[in-house]
Amino acid sequence: MSPSLMTGTDPGPFRLRRDTRELPQAVAALAGALPVRSLAAVLAAANRTAVRKGATTAFGSMSPKPADWYCFEQGDNDTLDWYPQGITGSSEAGRKDAQVFAVSWYWKPDGKAAERGVRVSFLSTATRKYRHVLLVEPVKGADYKAINIHAGGLAWYGDLLYVADTGRGIRVFDTRHIYEVQGDDDKIGKRGGAYHAFGYRYVMPQVDAWSGTGSARFSFAAVDRSASPHLLVSGEYVDPAQEPGTTGRVARWELGAGAGLEAGPDGLVPAAHAFTLPAAKIQGALSRQGRWYLSQAASSVKNGSLLVIADGQPAQVRKFPIGPEDLTCWNEKDQLWSLTEFRGRRVLFGVPF
């Protein structure tokens, strides 16, 4: 299907139900057992260095090249075990304390290996240093376990990090709850009186959750700060080979000032808007100042596309890099940012709106 219009659709399938469960109590138990570290402290202890405008084949035939980009270290660029998916940043969060990007990676090892879950890389654009933090699910007994999800999208609002959980909804993490651990590479959680995180120095436990109540999937995420109130955006990736004739949907929810998603007395938050996407294989979506920006994948060797859609207008198609994923914005620079996922071609990049 060629790109065309975005059309309004029933927002009912995107209604969310708060699913906090015992997460606050489990996080409080961890806070009593482990030292908390601020995001600034994590960045100060960053142990990897990105290369700004480094050599990469990710852009393919894209011309002109992006306005700016950051390449991961070779070990992260070449790994067969971790794949970057979601991107967000401090500009989207509305934070002025640092200029930071956050990137989610999901565990997809080459061969059989125990689940290691999801990690988030925090990258300071001031120093080009970055560090991986392991996302974990807290459990009873001041313990935690790995999270087995795709983590296809990230959105950041204030202190809260929203992580898309494809078939379930949205998981919530808090950048004020990052804990330092000292443990072995092959263990997770509390073992033998010590805490482990597969060799990672920092863990960030889940603090809340929003479960989908309908048929919607949650493949990507972003925040629209140009709207009033601000909006959380998420929607569906559709593979036309598996679901022919279907393109997927995208929805938006209102965010409380500084508080994020807020449920009514019934524990539910309805989507404010929902739309049918104009094309399949959408990996990221962002609305801003009356326009939609959609990241569309092609293949592991072909350039993807950026679809730009003004209200009620057909899509304008721009050439995007190979393997484009989630979207975020750097408002202060008037730039749209994304990242690429394929081994040997992993890069964060920004283009003018």
Q: Please write the tens of the pLDDT for every residue from 273-304.
A: 999 999 999 999 999 999 999 999 999 999 99
Average pLDDT, stretch 162-171?
Answer: 98
Name the least confident of 77-86, 195-204, 257-266. 257-266
pLDDT at 112: 80
Q: How confident is the model at residue 1 (pLDDT cuts 50, 70, 90)?
A: very low
Report residue 3's pLDDT band, with 50, 70 and 90 as the boundaries. Answer: low
Q: Which of 43-47, 86-90, 240-244 has the lowest mean pLDDT?
A: 240-244
Q: Where are the alpha helices (DSSP H) in 180-329?
A: none
pLDDT at 193: 87
- Which residues are CB-neighbours of 192 under 8 A, at least 6 positions away? none
Q: Is residue 305 part of a domain?
A: yes
For residue 291, report the phi and psi dihedrals to the nearest 5 degrees.
-120, 150
Domain that holds residue 136: 7-352
CATH of the domain at 55: 2.120.10
Cα separation, 99 vs 124, in Å, equals: 6
Q: Whole-prediction pTM value?
A: 0.97
User: What pLDDT does residue 333 have?
Assistant: 96
Give the mean model confidence (pLDDT) for residues 240-262. 93
Q: Is residue 1 in a domain?
A: no
Mean pLDDT over 175-198 rounds to: 93
Asked, for residue 2, whether it belongs to a domain, the answer is: no
Q: Cα separation of 39 and 32, whole Å?
A: 19
pLDDT in tens, 308-327: 999 878 899 999 999 999 99
Distance (Å, whole) CA 173 – CA 120:
11
| pLDDT averaged over every residue in the chain | 96
Cα dist from 124 to 39, 51, 100, 148, whole Å: 10, 12, 5, 27
**pLDDT over threshold 70, residue 134:** yes
Domain assignment present for 247: yes
Q: Which residues pair with 144 in a beta bridge?
A: 138
Q: What is the per-residue pLDDT for 257?
A: 81
The answer as to whether 113 is a domain residue is yes
Residue 338: inside a domain, yes or no? yes
pLDDT classification of 260: cutoffs 50, 70, 90: very high
Quick check: 2 pLDDT over 80? Answer: no
- Report the share of the chain in percent with pLDDT over 90: 92
Of 90-94, 117-121, 310-314, the range with the lowest mean pLDDT is: 310-314
Share of the chain above pLDDT 70, in %: 99
**How far is 351 from 305, CA to CA, in rounded Å?**
13
Average pLDDT over residues 32-51: 98
Is there a domain that residue 321 lies in?
Answer: yes
Mean pLDDT within 133-160: 97
Cα separation, 14 vs 261, whole angstroms: 13
Q: Counting beta carbons within 10 angstroms of the beta carbon of residue 288, is it exposed (0 to 12), middle (13 to 18) or buried (19 or more)?
A: buried
Say if 95 falls within a structural domain: yes
- Please state the domain count of the chain: 1
